[in-house]
Amino acid sequence: MRRAILIISVLAIGLAIGGYVFFNGERKAPVRYRTAAVERGPVISLVTATGTINPVVSVQVGTQVSGMIKSLHADFNSVVKAGDIVAVIDPEPLRARRDQAASNLEMSKANTARARTDLAQRKRELDRVQSLVAQQFVSQNDVDVAVTNSQAAEAQMNVAAAQVKQAEAALNAVELELKYTVIRSPVNGIVVARNVEVGQTIAASFATPNLFLIALDLTKMQVDTNVSESDIGGITEGKEATFTVDAYPGYQFSGTIRQVRLSPINVQNVVTYNVVVNVDNQDLRLKPGMTANVSIVVAQRDAVLKVPNAALRFTPPTSGQVDRTKLGGTPTKEKGAEASAGAGRGTQAPSRTVWRQGAAGELEPIHVQMGISDGVVTEILSEELSEGTLVVVGIDRPKGERGGSDLPPGFGSGGQRGSQRNRGM
């Protein structure tokens, strides 16, 4: 009797423990996936960059003479016309030099007159000696001396004439410098910058100082932006570009690419190219020096199939339910490797694998060829997918269970990388 009771007690305890483990033990929840539908619509591929707004033509006005600024006749934002006086340099030192040059010229002319008189006297003496030598009243030595004196007087006359020309050139140079003390605008435009003040001394000995910066026409502006070498291939002259500035939030300006300059800009081994965008600025809202956030349309497709980029990045978990019998074909490569390989071939579009759930809940792979991307969705060129098909974009887990290792590829610490181009991959 006691033995039976003991056996029944052991069985009861075992059943209690088994029931507790069965009903309250840890059970693994089934994996649930987040899906999105394949849609049809437009896809626009953009290249984004930062640039600076500048006038199309700007002229630096300098000075060719040194001196003190006596007066200014133009200021910031002054509208000037070609020939208008914008500044005057003190002309008094140059006037003193002009008077000295004029005195030197008069002295040179007086020396020339004296040399001319001396030459005439030497020629008369030579004629007299030559007439007397025939009558043997003078020696041949006297004739030779008279000839030498005449030639010396003629040479002195030439020296005096050259000194007159030199003095005239010096006077003309001083008068030209005196003319340059009045600084005039070379073009019609508006003064953007003024770099001098009244009383400031300007030295033009080594380099031409810049006094004013005049913009030719502020109704026509340009955006100078730098585009990386990886994105420059899709940018050509004539393409449309849009940009925004911080001064007018929410407003979008439009322009056209006028020039893709071939000169590379290398900064710390990063190569970029200057892309010039023409902009109409009739309302003068855009100011020189503003920072512009430029978006250039590289390619555009209308009414095409597109899938979210998250579906192209998704990789099934190793423990998930995957129909391995349908994998086949080329295995999926990590993070755009296959896209790079396809782009390198040039004749075949890059391919990638997306996943959908079958009737029993297992994952089925679908190999698709990709087109352009706008950073959020990507164009699908192949016909394996149709509009409305649900593709897997991630794993749906209860709140609080997601860890850093469960994030999709490309996310998490060290995975968030900025890019100039909205590739989406």
Tell me the pLDDT band of 405, cut-offs 50, 70 and 90: very low
| Residues 367, 383: Cα–Cα separation, whole Å | 10
Task: Using the predicted structure, report yes or no on whether residue 316 has a pLDDT greater than 60.
Answer: yes
pLDDT at res. 307: 92
Task: Using the predicted structure, report yes or no on whether residue 376 has a pLDDT greater than 80.
Answer: yes
Please, what is the average pLDDT of the chain? 83
Domain ranges of the chain: 28-42+303-399, 48-55+217-301, 59-87+187-215, 92-180
Beta bridge partners of 194: 212
What mean pLDDT is predicted for residues 386-397? 86
More confident residue, 211 or 135: 211
Phi-psi region for residue 105, left (φ > 0), alpha (ψ -120 to 50) or beta? alpha
Give 176-222 as a DSSP string: HHHHHTEEE-SSSEEEEEE---TT-EE--SSS--EEEEEES-TTEEE
**CA dist 322 → 27, 86, 312, 362, 398 (Å):** 21, 80, 17, 5, 21
Using a pLDDT cut of 70, give the percent of the chain over it.
82
Q: Is 3 buried (19+), middle (13-18) or exposed (0-12) by CB count in 10 A? A: exposed
Give 36-56 as a DSSP string: EE-EEEEEEEEEEEEEEEEES
Under CATH, domain 48-55+217-301 is a member of which superfamily?
Efflux pump adaptor protein, beta barrel domain (2.40.30.170)
What mean pLDDT is predicted for residues 214-229? 93
Task: Using the predicted structure, report yes or no on whether residue 310 has a pLDDT greater than 80.
Answer: yes
Using the CB atoms, write b or e for 6-32: b if 16+ within 10 Å: eeeeeeeeeeeeeeeeeeeeeeeeeee
Task: Using the predicted structure, report yes or no on whether residue 14 has a pLDDT greater than 90.
Answer: no
| Residues 260, 262: Cα–Cα separation, whole Å | 6
| Residues 252, 245: Cα–Cα separation, whole Å | 8
Residue with tokens 């953009």: 46
**Per-residue pLDDT tens over the stretch 338-371:** 333 333 334 466 888 999 888 777 888 999 998 8
**Per-residue pLDDT tens over the stretch 72-118:** 999 999 999 999 999 999 999 999 999 999 999 999 999 999 999 99
pLDDT at res. 85: 96
Asked if 43 contacts 65 with a C-beta cutoff of 8 angstroms, the reply is: no
Amino acid identity, residue 102?
Answer: A
More confident residue, 110 or 396: 110
What mean pLDDT is predicted for residues 171-181? 94
Instruction: Locate 396 and state its tokens.
Output: 């749906």
Helix (H), strand (E) at residue 104: helix 92-133
Task: Using the predicted structure, report yes or no on whether residue 137 has a pLDDT greater than 60.
Answer: yes
pLDDT at res. 329: 40
Evaluate whether the domain defined by 59-87+187-215 bears CATH number 2.40.50.100.
yes
pLDDT at res. 324: 45
Using the CB atoms, write b or e for 250-274: b if 16+ within 10 Å: eeebebebeeeeeeeeeeeeeebbb
For the ranges 19-28, 45-54, 257-266, the lowest mean pLDDT is seen at 19-28
Q: Is the dihedral of CA 377, 383, 384, 390 positive or negative?
A: positive
**Per-residue pLDDT tens over the stretch 363-374:** 889 999 988 888
48-55+217-301 matches 59-87+187-215 in fold: no
Tell me the pLDDT band of 63, cut-offs 50, 70 and 90: very high
pLDDT at res. 8: 77
